[in-house]
């Protein structure tokens, strides 16, 4: 069997200036084609979008067994979440 | 997802009309435009897009990879959209109460004005890609020139189509290079495709009376004026692809005047079947 | 219909579960999503690979019956809409294969299993599309049935599958509508067009009911998949919902559902309807449907004919990388 096109993870920054967001994956022979395929598969060719592609094999992920130590501490930093703060209604939307 | 943004709006023709009216140009043809020649020219543009779009759409569900299937469908959708604009304008200028669908579905082969190149069968994927590249390299030059057309409606359609076709060319040129400079088999297939299709490239640059009338009216460039840029693009890509264009090959022509290969009749038999079998029905 | 085609591996009571299996089941019961590389029972992984894989296969084989009419669509607008829809199906296949790949199987491996007949796709795509009205019926009924199945799967327990389904459902919202729109046009058209629409409904009604699979009231496999939340409803629940939703839509069109026994049952608040011929269903699944050979043959041909293209691009990418490396070394 011939060699398979590698898998790429696709990250796209939309028009709104938010961070690149993972939108999915696809197969392509190299990075340049992965970007082009991403444009055809995951964007509607809107101007101004930015695409990142990363070979799936090159991503280092936190291992599931570390899930406790890595993520539990931030649960205690509840002040990072906007709902932690009670804002009086009179102040209006914040 | 991979559908065109237009697909969220059900009526492409209405959208196209809207785009034209919103563009700020006053839709007035050049005053001294020869109307029959103008209609003829618009049909050439529309028919190229229609027939090539049709051929490309034949691959849907049959491409070598899913990513390619999706990319090709985008390309076919672009071309069908462009065809609606060009044939819509042709019908308008003609003023006989026809519309783009009537032109696409109710003309016989002899009334079609597309280049022979775009009606050739898809062949293997190499032939499809090479045909696309050779046409894209011509198409982009034509559209760039049309952006300064004396007729604002033509200029507007060209401006929209140019963005799409620039991407088509980027894709097709890159794939020709990669497959030319790929395996022995991919190189052999691309070379065979180039050799087979080369005889159908000359027709793109032949000027006739219609072209002359369009050029005189400032509506469109003389096709022959586009050849140097096309030569340059094609030579650069073929060199990188390690492919060689045939020299002194016989050049077929006739499509622009309505004398086609046998293939067009079959395309139309398929494409026009419902409109012909159920005259007047609305779909 | 994708869960319906799959028998899940193993089915255990809580007493039989290992501590890991118990903890896993508790996570699912709490509504947590299971993510790639997290611990999961082998049966869960295998069942999901089969289900997502067959779902993906159904999308790409599902391109073919409608693709059959792209070149014959009656207007430019219909051609563009149909092409965009069939293209969506390729995209949905792509998303689903990627979701399956997170479970440790490659897309090429899954395709090989499709091509060799070791994995199935939805039986509905083995029926022919004979007229333009079939484009209406497929969109209206087949996509309608698919949506009925896919909407609850957005809440499935496996994260990548759930995310793929969310994207797919969002994109598919226009598919059923475009089918119904075709039917409305045909039914408001000439007598010939209306007859064509009725004929399409006659041919696609029972195969659409079959899409939900045979009754699974007593199936242990089904119970396991439901416990794992990779199947969200029973086949019968979904089929009933589909019938209840579709009958008024057919009435609006002025079309007759080809079932003389169809009637409203006040007591259950739904329609009573005839079962499809399940012997036909099993024959189609076994490979004897009208188009099995054509559909699979088309996929195999596309794959084999495309091998030189895929290989050529890989070879070029390798060459380009070698050249870039050599250039870097020379520069140092």
Q: Which residues of A touch B178 (CB under 8 A)?
A: 29, 33
Residue whose token pair is 């586009």 = B226
| pLDDT, tens only, C161-213 | 999 999 999 888 789 999 999 999 999 999 999 999 999 999 999 999 999 99
Residue B243 DSSP SS3: coil
ipTM of the complex: 0.94
Cβ contact B61–C301 (<8 Å): no
Q: Which pLDDT value is given to residue C223?
A: 87
Q: Does A36 touch chain C (CB under 8 A)?
A: no
| pLDDT, tens only, A2-55 | 689 999 999 998 877 788 999 999 999 999 999 999 999 998 655 557 999 999
Residue B165 belongs to a domain: yes
Quote the domain boundaries for residue B197.
31-277
| pLDDT, tens only, C113-140 | 999 999 999 999 999 999 999 999 999 9
Q: Which of C63, C84, C312 sits opposite B77 (nearest CB)?
A: C84
Q: Which residues of C touch B270 (CB under 8 A)?
A: 71-72
Distances from the Cα of B186 to the Cαs of A75, B25, B65, B70, B200, in angstroms? 55, 47, 16, 21, 22
Residue C270 DSSP SS3: strand
- In angstroms, the CA B153 to CA B97 distance is 19
Distances from the Cα of C311 to the Cαs of A7, A27, B239, in angstroms? 15, 13, 21
Residue C265 DSSP SS3: strand
Q: How many domains does chain B have?
A: 1
The 10 Å Cβ neighbour count of residue C195 is 13
The proportion of chain C whose per-residue pLDDT surpasses 90, expressed as a percent, equals 89
Residue B194 belongs to a domain: yes
Residue B228 belongs to a domain: yes
Where helices occur in C254-291 by DSSP H, the ranges are 278-283
Q: Which residues of A touch C95 (CB under 8 A)?
A: 24
Burial class (CB in 10 A: 0-12, 13-18, 19+), C23: exposed
Q: Which of A32, A41, A46 sits opposite B67 (nearest CB)?
A: A41
Residue B7 belongs to a domain: no
Q: Which of C106, C307, C317 sits opposite A29 (nearest CB)?
A: C317
Residue B17 belongs to a domain: no
Residue B189 belongs to a domain: yes
Select from B234, B150, B160, B153 the least CA-distant residue to B198: B234
Cβ contact A29–C39 (<8 Å): no
| Average pLDDT estimate for B153-180 | 98
Residue B206 belongs to a domain: yes
Residue B264 belongs to a domain: yes
Strands of chain A, DSSP E: 7-13, 21-27, 50-55
CA–CA min distance B267, chain C (Å): 8
* CATH number of the domain encompassing residue B248: 1.20.1260.10
């Amino acid at each position: 069997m011939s060699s398979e096109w590698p898998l790429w993870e696709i990250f796209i920054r939309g028009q709104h200036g938010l961070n690149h967001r993972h939108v999915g994956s696809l197969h392509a022979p190299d990075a340049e084609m992965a970007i082009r395929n991403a444009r055809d598969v995951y964007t509607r060719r809107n101007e101004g979008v930015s695409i990142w592609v990363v070979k799936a094999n090159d991503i280092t992920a936190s291992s599931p067994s570390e899930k406790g130590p890595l993520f539990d501490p931030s649960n205690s930093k509840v002040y990072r979440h906007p709902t932690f703060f009670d804002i009086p209604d009179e102040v209006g939307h914040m | 997802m991979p559908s065109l943004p237009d697909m969220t709006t059900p009526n492409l023709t209405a959208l196209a009309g809207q785009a034209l009216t919103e563009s700020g140009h006053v839709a007035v043809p050049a005053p001294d435009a020869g109307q029959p020649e103008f209609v003829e020219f618009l049909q050439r543009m529309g028919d190229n897009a229609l027939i090539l779009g049709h051929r490309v759409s034949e691959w849907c569900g049959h491409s070598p990879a899913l990513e390619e299937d999706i990319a090709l469908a985008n390309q076919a959708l672009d071309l069908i959209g462009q065809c609606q604009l060009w044939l819509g304008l042709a019908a308008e200028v003609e003023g006989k109460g026809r519309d783009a669908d009537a032109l696409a579905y109710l003309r016989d082969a002899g009334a079609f004005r597309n280049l022979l190149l775009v009606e050739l069968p898809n062949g293997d994927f190499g032939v499809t890609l090479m045909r696309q590249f050779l046409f894209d390299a011509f198409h982009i030059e034509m559209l760039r020139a049309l952006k300064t057309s004396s007729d604002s409606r033509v200029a507007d359609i060209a401006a929209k189509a140019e963005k799409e076709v620039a991407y088509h060319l980027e894709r097709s040129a890159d794939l020709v290079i990669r497959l030319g400079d790929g395996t022995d088999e991919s190189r052999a297939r691309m070379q065979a495709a180039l050799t087979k299709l080369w005889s159908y490239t000359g027709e793109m640059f032949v000027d006739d009376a219609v072209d002359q009338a369009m050029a005189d009216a400032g509506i469109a460039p003389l096709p022959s004026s586009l050849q140097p840029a096309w030569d340059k693009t094609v030579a650069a890509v073929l060199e990188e692809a390690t492919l060689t264009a045939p020299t002194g090959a016989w050049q077929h022509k006739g499509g622009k005047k309505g004398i086609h290969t046998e293939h067009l009749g079959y395309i139309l038999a398929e494409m026009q079947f419902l409109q012909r079998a159920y005259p007047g029905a609305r779909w | 219909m994708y869960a319906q085609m799959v028998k899940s591996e193993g089915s255990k009571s809580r007493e039989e579960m290992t501590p890991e299996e118990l903890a896993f089941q508790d996570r699912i019961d709490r509504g947590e999503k299971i993510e790639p590389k997290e611990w999961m029972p082998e049966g869960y992984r295998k069942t999901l690979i089969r289900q997502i894989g067959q779902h993906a296969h159904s999308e790409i084989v599902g391109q073919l019956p409608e693709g059959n009419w792209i070149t014959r669509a009656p207007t430019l607008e219909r051609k563009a809409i149909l092409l965009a829809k069939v293209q969506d199906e390729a995209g949905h296949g792509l998303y689903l294969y990627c979701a399956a790949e997170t479970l440790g199987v490659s897309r090429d491996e899954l395709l090989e299993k499709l091509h060799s007949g070791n994995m199935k796709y939805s039986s509905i795509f083995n029926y022919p599309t004979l007229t333009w009205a079939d484009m209406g019926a497929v969109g209206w009924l087949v996509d309608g049935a698919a949506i009925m199945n896919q909407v609850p799967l957005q809440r499935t327990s496996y994260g990548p599958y759930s995310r793929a389904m969310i994207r797919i459902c969002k994109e598919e919202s226009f598919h059923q509508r475009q089918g119904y729109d075709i039917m409305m046009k045909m039914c408001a058209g000439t007598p010939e067009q209306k007859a064509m629409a009725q004929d399409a409904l006659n041919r696609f009604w029972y195969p659409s009911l079959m899409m939900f699979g045979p009754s699974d009231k007593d199936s242990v496999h089904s119970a396991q998949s439901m416990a794992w939340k990779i199947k969200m409803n029973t086949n019968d629940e979904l089929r009933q919902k589909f019938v209840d939703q579709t009958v008024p839509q057919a009435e609006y069109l002025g079309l007759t559902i080809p079932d003389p026994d169809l009637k409203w049952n006040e007591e259950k608040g739904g329609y009573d309807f005839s079962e499809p011929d399940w012997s036909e269903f099993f024959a189609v699944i076994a490979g004897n449907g009208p188009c099995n050979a054509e559909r699979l043959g088309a996929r195999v041909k596309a794959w084999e004919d495309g091998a030189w293209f895929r290989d050529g691009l890989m070879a070029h990418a390798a060459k380009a990388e070698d050249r870039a490396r050599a250039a870097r070394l020379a520069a140092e």
